[in-house]
Amino acid sequence: MKKGLNANQLKLLALIAMTVDHIGVLFLPQCAILRIIGRLSLPIYAFLIAEGCRHTRSMKGYLTKVAALAGVCQIIYLVASQSLYQCILVTFSMSIGLIWLIQNSVKKNTWGARILACTGVAGAYFVTEILPPILSGTGFGVDYGFFGVLLPVAFYLGKKPWGSLAAGGLILVGLGCVYGGIQWLALLTLPILLTYNGQRGKMNLKYIFYLYYPAHLGVLQLIFWLLKPE
Q: What pLDDT, in 10s, does the model give residues 184-210? A: 999 999 999 999 998 988 877 777 777
Residues 45, 40: Cα–Cα separation, whole Å = 9
Residues 157, 29: Cα–Cα separation, whole Å = 36
pTM: predicted TM-score of the whole model, two decimal places = 0.93
Tens digits of residue pLDDT in 33-61: 999 999 999 999 999 999 999 999 999 99
Single out the residue of 17, 11, 19 nearest to residue 217, CA to CA: 19
State whether residue 86 is helix, strand or coil: strand
Partnered with residue 196 across adjacent β-strands are 5
Contact criterion met (CB below 8 Å) for 120 and 127: no
Supply angle C-alpha 135, 140, 143, rounded to 5.
Answer: 140
Residues 112, 104: Cα–Cα separation, whole Å = 10
Tens digits of residue pLDDT in 98-154: 999 999 999 999 999 999 999 999 999 999 999 999 998 888 999 999 999 999 999
Task: Compute the average pLDDT of residues 72-77.
Answer: 84
In sequence order, which residues have a C-beta less than 8 Å from that of residue 85 and are 6 or more positions away?
A: 77, 139, 140, 141, 143
Partnered with residue 86 across adjacent β-strands are 142
Residues 21, 35: Cα–Cα separation, whole Å = 5
**DSSP for residue 11:** H
Contact criterion met (CB below 8 Å) for 17 and 40: yes
